[in-house]
Structure formats: C-alpha cells, structure tokens
C-alpha cells in the first residue's frame, strides 16, 4: 500500500465525504428511515457529525445550518420534495434498531 501523508489522507477522506453527500442528494428517493434501518445512519446523522466537527474546531452551526449543508437545501424543502410516510413495518424496525442518541 502506498504511504500517504496526513494531508493526503485528509484530502482523500474529504473527497470521499463530498461524493457521499452528492450521491445522497441525487438519491432523494432513498428515505432516511431506510438508511437507518440498513446502515445505522442517515443524512441527519451526517449533519450532526458535521456540526460536531465544526463545534470541535470552535465554529458554531445550528442544526438547520448543518442540515442544509448536507441536504443541499433547507431541510423542510427536502422533506416536502422527497419524504414519504414510512410503513408501520419500517417504523417498527427503526424502533427495534434505534441508536440510543436518536
């Protein structure tokens, strides 16, 4: 394996993160509850992690600001365009698997 500098690792991680965010923006048909049930995280988790990283560096972001960064638009707008009602089965699965911090 190639020896990577810390800067290269950071740059590659940032590029992979940007690609993930762009992919999720393009896939508005994929519901957050589906992501949570399958992978244990969703767009809201990403926005929370983003906000936590900013705060660790002394930058204050609101929940709405960090969500807009991840969603590419205000959260309420994304919900109106993309969010559908989850089935009772999906809701039950989420409750069974729900992380403690959600």
Cα–Cα distance for residue pair 94/32, rounded to 1 Å = 10
- Predicted model pTM: 0.90
What integer pLDDT is reported at residue 39 of this predicted model? 95
Alpha-carbon 39 to chain mean position: 11
Q: Is the pLDDT of residue 63 over 90?
A: yes
Q: What are the pLDDT digits (tens) for 2-53?
A: 899 999 999 999 999 999 999 999 999 999 999 999 999 999 999 999 999 9
Interacting residues of 66 by C-beta distance below 8 A, sequence separation 6+? 47, 48, 50, 51, 54
Q: Is the pLDDT of residue 87 over 90?
A: yes
């Amino acid at each position: 394996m190639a020896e990577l500098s810390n800067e290269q690792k950071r740059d590659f991680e940032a590029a992979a993160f940007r690609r993930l965010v762009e992919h999720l923006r393009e896939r508005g048909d994929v519901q957050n509850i589906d992501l949570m049930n399958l992978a244990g995280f969703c767009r809201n988790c990403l926005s929370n992690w983003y906000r936590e990283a900013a705060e660790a560096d002394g930058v204050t972001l609101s929940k709405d600001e960090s969500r807009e960064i991840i969603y590419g638009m205000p959260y309420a707008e994304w919900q109106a365009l993309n969010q559908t009602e989850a089935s009772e089965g999906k809701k039950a699965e989420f409750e069974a698997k729900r992380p403690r911090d959600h």
